[in-house]
Amino acid sequence: MNTPSDRTYLQSYLNQAGVRFDFNLVDTVCNRKLSVTFYLAVIAALLVFGLPLGMPGNQVTDFDAATQGIREVGSGNKLFFYCLLALLLVYIVSYLLRLGYFMSLRTKLRKDPAPIAVEAYAVVCLDVRRKFSDQVIAYLGQWLRHDPTAFCKYAVIYKELGTTQPRFFLSAAVSTRKLCFIPEHIGRVFIHRTKASLYTLDDKSGYQTASERQPVFGNFAVGSDNLSASQAAKINAKSKSPD
């Protein structure tokens, strides 16, 4: 389902309107898994390890040096290659540890028996520049497509149900606008109890078949007294209706 253009907003605009939310780091990292930069780092590490003469993967023997005149790289260049290899290995190991941590955290968070009930609200273009790479992406979009948001990530905003002061949450961020956005689609948010900025959003349960669907709506952490009649009916209908 294509995203309606009239339900897509810039994050900077929503922030000015008072709609604020934390970036969904947990789901974004878990869904991305091994990125292109990870594979590039692995390829670069293999090349540095085995390509330059004198490195552990391409040793020069005394016989080769004497008979063929092959000489390994100088000590200065070898030191540079070793430092580069060390940096690449640190990046690769830290990337895997980070991915493992967030995957474990998501599994732990989703065991919470009382998630927060939310519904799909809109699509947001994450144009707020939080780090240096965001600045680079904005300049690249302005240079190539004359649009600083051309390469921004997008996510679906979910609004908390059952309260007059709702919180807003994001789905996993993606690099394109090809999102499956279903207005008012019900989801579940599991928040870290001590770090509220860490949370995971389960927006897939609504696509399960009737035989696979679990009765999760009865355990939502929403105040039934604050639910409007339409919201209560919507939750009950979605929890009971077959696909």
Query: What's residue 136's pLDDT?
Result: 73
> Is there a single domain that holds both residue 194 and residue 119?
yes
> Is there a single domain that holds both residue 187 and residue 223?
yes
> Is there a single domain that holds both residue 73 and residue 192?
no
> Is there a single domain that holds both residue 96 and residue 213?
no
E strands within the chain?
A: 8-10, 116-126, 153-160, 168-170, 186-191, 199-202
> Is there a single domain that holds both residue 103 and residue 136?
no
Mean local confidence (pLDDT), 190-213: 72
Residue 6 has pLDDT above 80, yes or no: no
**Strand 8-10, strand 116-126: pairing:** parallel
Task: Count the domains in the chain.
Answer: 2
Q: Where are the alpha helices (DSSP H) in 69-203?
A: 75-109, 132-145
Neighbours of 164 (CB within 10 A): 5
> Is there a single domain that holds both residue 100 and residue 214?
no
Distance in angstroms (rounded) separating the CA atoms of residues 206 and 238: 8
Query: What's residue 226's pLDDT?
Result: 41
Query: What's the predicted TM-score (pTM) here?
Result: 0.72
Neighbours of 218 (CB within 10 A): 8
Domain span holding position 93: 36-108
What is the pLDDT confidence band of residue 209, given thresholds at 50, 70 and 90?
Answer: very low
Express each pLDDT in 141-161 by its tens digit.
777 766 777 778 889 999 999
Rounded (10°) CA dihedral 218, 122, 154, 137: -140
Distance in angstroms (rounded) separating the CA atoms of residues 85 and 179: 38
Last residue of a domain, one of 86, 108, 130: 108
Query: What's residue 44's pLDDT?
Result: 94
Query: What's residue 67's pLDDT?
Result: 53
Distance in angstroms (rounded) separating the CA atoms of residues 154 and 156: 7
Joined together, the tokens standing for residue 207 give 């696509």
> Is there a single domain that holds both residue 96 and residue 118?
no
Mean local confidence (pLDDT), 228-232: 47
> Is there a single domain that holds both residue 124 and residue 205?
yes
Distance in angstroms (rounded) separating the CA atoms of residues 93 and 154: 28
Closest by CA position to 1, among listed 97, 120, 112, 113? 120
Distance in angstroms (rounded) separating the CA atoms of residues 120 and 187: 8
Last residue of a domain, one of 108, 131, 146: 108
How far is CA 179 from its chain centroid? 14
Last residue of a domain, one of 84, 108, 132: 108
> Is there a single domain that holds both residue 92 and residue 73?
yes
> Is there a single domain that holds both residue 41 and residue 20?
no
